[in-house]
């Protein structure tokens, strides 16, 4: 029920108007309620029809529920049925497999009978393939099962056990016969029979024996061949004019024979024996290979006098100890006759070939054995063990050891060759007029490149890296010392003036020959070595780059580790560049102290003899004559010109740079010792500009930076008035002017040099 109060609100119903208003409100409400009621009633019909629909559906739903229940029942019945059917099927399967097993046993038994009858006949008729096939059939039967069958059927049929017995005996007999026959064939060297019986072994379950017997047969053949080839190696080499590589050729042939045998027999082994047996053969062959290589190396050592040469080198290197500059090392005791590096050149080449052949042989064998094992059906464990055994055979076999020793010999010889040839190149260093460098740079780099390149043909990363290390040592030792030697004594400054030089030339002409003096030669030597060092910094970079590329090209399958080791050794070679740069720096410093400073300083100091407090007339007179700047530039130009044509471009630039630094700092010192008036300052500014222009023209890089301080000092001394400074003062860099390189205190002390500037003004200037 409507609460009246809530409808009329807080309308005051004590007044007539209030009541009227309340009445109106109530009427309004009533109208609204009526409308709502009507709306609700209008939907009654709809709702009723829906309800009747629902009750009709209810009955349908009931029938659905019943249907569902019956369906569920039927499903569970079906499931039970299926269960029982599948159980039956399973039983049926079991039964069938038993039947087939049974059939197999029956087959086995039948075969057993056939085999036992056939095998003896076959043996009698010497049809070993047939006999072996019977045995193989017998061996393929489940031996335990056979035994059980035999036990099961005892009593009724005794022939089963009898057949078994026959076959067992036959197997033993066949094994004996085949072994005998094989041995006989070997004795008669009847290759066809050897191969015939070799194929029978696996049928008799004698895989390992077969491989072993066959391998040792092959070894016999290889031994004979190897010995014959070794005996005739010298004659063959002589005939083919390959004396220098006679042993490399023999070793190549020897290893190739082993590899060939391996390759030829691999298909037979794989088809008759299955996979996984190559390792057994390799193991036996490797022992024979080791033996033959040992004989060969003995012969090689004897023929090429390895022991003697190694001893000679060792004794010689020990006797020397230190390094002699620019000369051959001389044998000290006199007992050692020195080995000529040229004489061992071809021997070194032969050794690298030998070593590379062994590397290739190992790679070949390993690839085949590993592929065979990987493709086999061996258990993982077994496979892993066999893989590591094959690895072990290769690393521990005598051939490996022999080759490691050979590599050691190679490295010793190569080092001797490299060091001696480098010393020789240094000793025979020649300089041709007009060149900037002498012969030793090209020669030394040629030798070292040759050695590194040759090392790559050993196919051994260990060998290559060692040669690279030795090359770096050689550069850092003998070569750098040779470059540095002439630089140590400084640049002989020679003639003090032109008159002296003139006299010297006159006197030589009078003597009828224009002799180059010792000092002249020393000067040339100094310059040439300085250029050599500069050129070498470029060459070493090139050597590093080309060798890196060549080695990486030759060893496409480097391991990560090998690559890192190589990288590290190569960076040692590249590091030689730093040492070479240090030599250049050292030489430049020497040049500065012995050639630049002593000549430059007196010229610059001439500045002090000039008057810098000029009157107008004096200025005119000064400018009419040779000015200081002109004098200085002529002198410097003369000095630089004497170096320009002989120094390498980079060295010449460095020289100009050093000279610019020297001139500016010396001149600055002279300026600070002088006093100027307005005109003096003007002249100075012009002269500094002239000097700057000259130096800029003398070199390819900018001297502006080096001239900055001096230019600024000249600017200060060229001021009209002290107050003008604020127009120029620019402590920070901007586009037009370089930053001031002079501190405010320095500015003041420079301004004081102008006698016409007043101290008070200078003190007052704001900077």
Partner 1 sequence: MEDYKFLFKVVLVGNAGVGKTCLVRRFTQGLFPPGQGATIGVDFMIKTVEVEGEKIKLQIWDTAGQERFRSITQSYYRSAHALILVYDISCQPTFDCLPDWLREIQEYANSKVLKILVGNKTDRDDREIPTQIGEEFAKQHDMYFLETSAKEAENVERLFYEIAAELIEQARSKEPISQHSRSTADSIGLSSLGSKANYLSQSGCCSSLSSHST
**What does the binding site for partner 1 look like in residue numbers (CB under 8 A)?**
321, 395, 401, 404-405, 407-409, 411-412, 415, 462-463, 465-467, 469-470, 472-473, 476, 561, 564-565, 568, 571-572, 575, 578, 581-582, 585
Q: Which pair of tokens denotes residue 549?
A: 């590329």
Nearer to partner 1, 544 or 694 (CB): 544
Least separation in angstroms between residue 84's CB and partner 1 is 60
Spatial CB neighbours of 512, under 8 Å, sequence gap ≥ 6: none
Least separation in angstroms between residue 647's CB and partner 1 is 21
Please say whether the beta carbons of 741 and 712 come within 8 A.
yes
- Going from the C-alpha of 672 to that of each of 318, 675, 744, 746, the distances in angstroms are 61, 8, 16, 10
Q: Which pair of tokens denotes residue 151?
A: 């036990």
Q: Is 752 helix (H, G, I), strand (E, B) or coil?
A: coil
Least separation in angstroms between residue 245's CB and partner 1 is 22
Least separation in angstroms between residue 469's CB and partner 1 is 4
Least separation in angstroms between residue 304's CB and partner 1 is 17
Least separation in angstroms between residue 565's CB and partner 1 is 6
Which residues make beta-bridge pairs with 729?
none
Which residues make beta-bridge pairs with 676?
754
Q: Which pair of tokens denotes residue 58?
A: 């209810």
Instruction: Identify the burial level of 87 via C-beta atoms within 10 angstroms of its C-beta, where 0-12 means exposed, 13-18 middle and 19 or more buried.
Output: exposed
The DSSP symbol for 12 reads: -
Nearer to partner 1, 469 or 696 (CB): 469
Least separation in angstroms between residue 585's CB and partner 1 is 7
Least separation in angstroms between residue 412's CB and partner 1 is 5
Nearer to partner 1, 18 or 572 (CB): 572
Nearer to partner 1, 51 or 582 (CB): 582
Spatial distance between the Cα atoms of 451 and 33, rounded to a whole number of angstroms: 116
Spatial distance between the Cα atoms of 713 and 716, rounded to a whole number of angstroms: 5
- Going from the C-alpha of 73 to that of each of 78, 81, 84, the distances in angstroms are 9, 12, 17
Nearer to partner 1, 322 or 512 (CB): 322
Spatial distance between the Cα atoms of 410 and 349, rounded to a whole number of angstroms: 9
Nearer to partner 1, 313 or 655 (CB): 313
Least separation in angstroms between residue 250's CB and partner 1 is 22
Nearer to partner 1, 89 or 582 (CB): 582
Nearer to partner 1, 207 or 415 (CB): 415
DSSP codes joined into one string, 601-642: HHHHHGGGGS--S--HHHHHHHHHS--HHHHHHHHHHHHHHH
Calculate the dihedral angle through the C-alpha atoms of 426, 430, 433, 438, rounding to the nearest 10 degrees.
-30
Least separation in angstroms between residue 340's CB and partner 1 is 21
Please say whether the beta carbons of 687 and 627 come within 8 A.
yes
- Going from the C-alpha of 409 to that of each of 23, 255, 348, 496, the distances in angstroms are 131, 21, 9, 57
Nearer to partner 1, 90 or 318 (CB): 318
Nearer to partner 1, 467 or 640 (CB): 467
Nearer to partner 1, 170 or 570 (CB): 570
- Going from the C-alpha of 387 to that of each of 272, 331, 382, 383, the distances in angstroms are 22, 52, 9, 6
Spatial distance between the Cα atoms of 499 and 478, rounded to a whole number of angstroms: 41
Least separation in angstroms between residue 461's CB and partner 1 is 8
């Amino acid at each position: 029920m409507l609460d009246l109060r809530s409808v009329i609100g807080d309308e005051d119903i004590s007044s007539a108007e209030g009541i009227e208003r309340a009445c109106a409100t109530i009427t309004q409400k009533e109208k609204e309620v009526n409308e709502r009621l009507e709306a609700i009633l209008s939907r009654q019909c709809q709702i009723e029809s829906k309800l009747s629909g629902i009750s009709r559906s209810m009955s349908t739903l009931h029938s659905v529920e019943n249907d569902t229940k019956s369906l569920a029942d039927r499903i569970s019945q079906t499931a039970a049925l299926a269960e029982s059917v599948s159980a039956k099927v399973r039983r049926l399967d079991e039964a069938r497999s038993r039947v087939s097993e049974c059939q197999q046993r029956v087959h086995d038994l039948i075969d057993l009978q056939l085999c036992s009858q056939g095998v003896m006949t076959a043996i009698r008729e010497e049809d070993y393939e047939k006999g072996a096939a019977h045995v193989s059939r017998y061996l393929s039967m489940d031996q335990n099962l056979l035994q059980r069958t035999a036990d099961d059927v005892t009593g009724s049929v005794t022939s089963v056990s009898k057949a078994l017995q026959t076959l067992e005996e036959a197997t033993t007999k066949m094994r004996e016969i085949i072994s005998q026959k094989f041995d006989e064939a070997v004795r008669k060297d009847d290759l066809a029979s050897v191969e015939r019986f070799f194929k029978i072994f696996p049928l008799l379950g004698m895989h390992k024996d077969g491989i072993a017997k066959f391998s040792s047969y092959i070894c016999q053949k290889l031994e004979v061949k190897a010995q014959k080839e070794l005996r005739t190696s010298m004659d063959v080499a002589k005939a083919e004019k390959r004396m220098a590589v006679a042993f490399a050729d023999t070793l190549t042939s020897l290893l190739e024979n082993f590899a060939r045998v391996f390759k030829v027999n691999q298909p037979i082994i794989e088809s008759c024996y299955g996979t996984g047996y190559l390792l057994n053969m390799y193991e036996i062959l490797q022992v024979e290979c080791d033996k033959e290589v040992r004989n060969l190396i003995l012969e090689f050592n004897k023929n090429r006098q390895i022991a003697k040469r190694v001893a000679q080198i060792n004794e010689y290197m020990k006797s020397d100890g230190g390094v002699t500059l620019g000369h051959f090392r001389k044998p000290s005791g006199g007992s050692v006759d020195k080995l000529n590096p040229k004489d061992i050149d071809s021997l070194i080449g032969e050794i690298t070939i030998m070593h590379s052949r062994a590397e290739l042989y190992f790679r070949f064998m390993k690839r085949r054995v590993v592929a065979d094992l990987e493709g086999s059906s061996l258990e993982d464990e077994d496979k892993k063990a066999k893989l590591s055994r094959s690895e072990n055979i290769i690393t521990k076999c005598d051939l490996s050891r022999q080759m490691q020793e050979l590599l050691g010999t190679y490295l010793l010889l190569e080092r001797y060759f490299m060091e001696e040839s480098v010393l020789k190149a240094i000793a025979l260093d020649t300089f041709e007029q007009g060149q900037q460098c002498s012969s030793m740079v090209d020669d030394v780099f040629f030798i070292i490149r040759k050695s590194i390149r040759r090392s790559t043909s050993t196919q051994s990363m260990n060998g290559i890296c060692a040669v690279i290390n030795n090359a770096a040592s050689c550069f850092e030792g003998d070569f750098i010392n040779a470059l540095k030697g002439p630089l140590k004594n400084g640049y002989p400054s020679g003639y003090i003036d032109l008159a002296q030089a003139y006299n010297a030339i006159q006197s030589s002409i009078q003597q009828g020959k224009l002799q180059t003096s010792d000092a002249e030669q020393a000067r040339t030597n100094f310059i040439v070595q300085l250029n050599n060092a500069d050129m070498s910094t470029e060459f070493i970079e090139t050597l590093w780059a080309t060798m890196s590329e060549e080695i990486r090209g030759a060893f496409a399958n480097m391991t990560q580790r090998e690559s890192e080791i190589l990288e590290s050794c190569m960076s040692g070679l590249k590091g030689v560049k730093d040492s070479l740069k240090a030599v250049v720096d050292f030489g430049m410093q020497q040049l500065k102290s012995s050639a630049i400073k002593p000549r430059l300083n007196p010229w610059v100091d001439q500045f002090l003899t000039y008057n810098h407090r000029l009157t107008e007339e004096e200025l005119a007179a000064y400018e009419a004559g040779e000015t200081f700047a002109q004098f200085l530039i002529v002198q410097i130009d003369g000095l630089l010109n004497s170096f320009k044509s002989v120094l390498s471009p980079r060295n010449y630039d460095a020289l100009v740079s050093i000279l610019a630094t020297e001139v500016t700092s010396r001149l600055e010192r002279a300026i600070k010792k002088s006093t100027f008036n307005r005109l003096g300052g003007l002249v100075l500014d012009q002269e500094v500009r002239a000097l700057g222009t000259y130096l800029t023209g003398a070199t390819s890089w900018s001297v502006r930076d080096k001239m900055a301080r001096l230019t600024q000092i000249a600017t200060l001394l060229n001021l009209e008035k002290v107050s003008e400074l604020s127009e120029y003062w620019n402590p920070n860099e901007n586009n037009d002017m370089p930053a001031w390189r002079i501190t405010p205190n320095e500015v003041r002390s420079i301004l004081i040099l102008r006698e016409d500037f007043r101290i008070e003004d200078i003190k007052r200037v704001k900077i």
